[in-house]
Amino acid sequence: MLKLSILDQSPVSSGFTHSDALQQTIQLAQLADRLGYTRFWVSEHHNSQGLAGSSPEVLLSTLAARTNRIRLGSGGVLLPHYSSYKVAENFRMLEALYPGRIDLGIGRAPGGTPHTAKALRGVSADLFEGLERFPAQVTDLLGFLTDSVEPGHVFEGIRATPMVAGVPQVWLLGSTGQSGVYASQAGAAFCFAHFINGAGGQQAVRSYRSSFKPSALNVVPQATVCIYVLCAETQAEAEELAASIDLRILQMEKGEFTGVKSPEEAAEYVYSDWDQTRLRDNRSRMIIGDPGQVREQMLNLASSYQVDEVMVVAGGYLPETRQRTIELLAEAFDLAALKV
């Protein structure tokens, strides 16, 4: 039976505020918890008009307090901006408060403009050096999480507090094969962002599995794939609502991060020939349709990646649209049977 999870980016739709978007994330997590979803992740973006989630650790603490069963995680913490030690302490704190429910997803993307990245790291920071240091940062992070900092290391003897028995599940996230390489070398789980890059993900996951090195985190490789989904009662309704996703992705490609437009606003947008080509190409990053169509396409996607779990970015302008998507998916995949 296919497991389903959710990545929610706290999108800010036109006519709504950042505070509204965060409340919508809380409501979606509570619904996913009741419906039987496996995990619920939140993202990290900075200086963005269209995305409200800038601090996943803080948001996760609220979500954990307001849900009962579902795993919660970051999708993901942008590690090059931060100290590995501080990230380890933040997620050990979450694990101590909510044992067995915390995922630590990490990525190496900037999550904003280079100028914003300098504000995060310090104005004198070398952004390229941060990316080059990423593998070493991952090693340090895992050492702190598992109390396995090697003898002779500059951080030998330093332990991340609070000291707890459990370890958050660690995932590396990416839209290219390079993140899969890092995940396999670290013995971490790997999530491919098909919603960002609709090509090459299957090969990236195969390569991750073939080169995986067992670790204190995982004895065998664990992978999942994340994709945009919009499900409605009919295909016609789904296509009408999906115009908001089409336009949002197109505008992000153009560097316009203004948030999610309504289907009516999308219908009034003047699309160039290049825009139309991008709309068609970007559909490879989405699954749109009625419950039967969406179920079939998601099963095909999972089969192509050889995974037993698919992570959904529920798309749409209104929170009710995103909520209805995950309700229909829960029914189509009988998630109630997976509840523990």
- What CATH code is carried by the domain that includes residue 316? 3.20.20.30
Question: Is the per-residue pLDDT at 197 higher than 90?
Answer: yes
- Residue 234's CB is within 10 A of a number of other CB atoms, namely 12
Looking at the domain assignment, is residue 156 inside a domain? yes
Looking at the domain assignment, is residue 189 inside a domain? yes
Under the banding of pLDDT at 50, 70 and 90, the label for residue 226 is: very high
pLDDT (0 to 100) of residue 119: 84
pLDDT (0 to 100) of residue 257: 80
pLDDT in tens, 310-339: 999 999 999 999 999 999 999 999 998 876
Residue 323 belongs to domain spanning: 3-234+288-337
Looking at the domain assignment, is residue 314 inside a domain? yes
Looking at the domain assignment, is residue 250 inside a domain? no
pLDDT (0 to 100) of residue 184: 96
Question: Is the per-residue pLDDT at 125 higher than 70?
Answer: no
Out of 17-31, 63-77, 256-270, least confident range: 256-270
Question: Is the per-residue pLDDT at 83 higher than 80?
Answer: yes
pLDDT in tens, 135-194: 999 999 999 999 999 888 999 899 999 999 999 999 999 999 999 999 999 999 999 999
Rounded to an integer, what distance in angstroms lies between the CA atom of residue 12 and that of residue 252? 13
Rounded to an integer, what distance in angstroms lies between the CA atom of residue 142 and that of residue 258? 36
Rounded to an integer, what distance in angstroms lies between the CA atom of residue 223 and that of residue 58? 26
Looking at the domain assignment, is residue 273 inside a domain? no
Looking at the domain assignment, is residue 247 inside a domain? no
Tell me the whole-structure pTM to 2 decimals.
0.95
Question: Is the per-residue pLDDT at 128 higher than 60?
Answer: no
Share the mean pLDDT of the chain: 94
pLDDT (0 to 100) of residue 131: 67
Contact indicator for 328, 232 with CB cutoff of 8 Å: yes
Looking at the domain assignment, is residue 59 inside a domain? yes
Q: Number of folded domains in the chain?
A: 1
Under the banding of pLDDT at 50, 70 and 90, the label for residue 299 is: very high
Looking at the domain assignment, is residue 90 inside a domain? yes
Contact indicator for 138, 184 with CB cutoff of 8 Å: no
Cα separations (Å) of 98 from 4, 71, 92, 95, 161?
Answer: 21, 9, 10, 5, 15
Rounded to an integer, what distance in angstroms lies between the CA atom of residue 151 and that of residue 164? 21
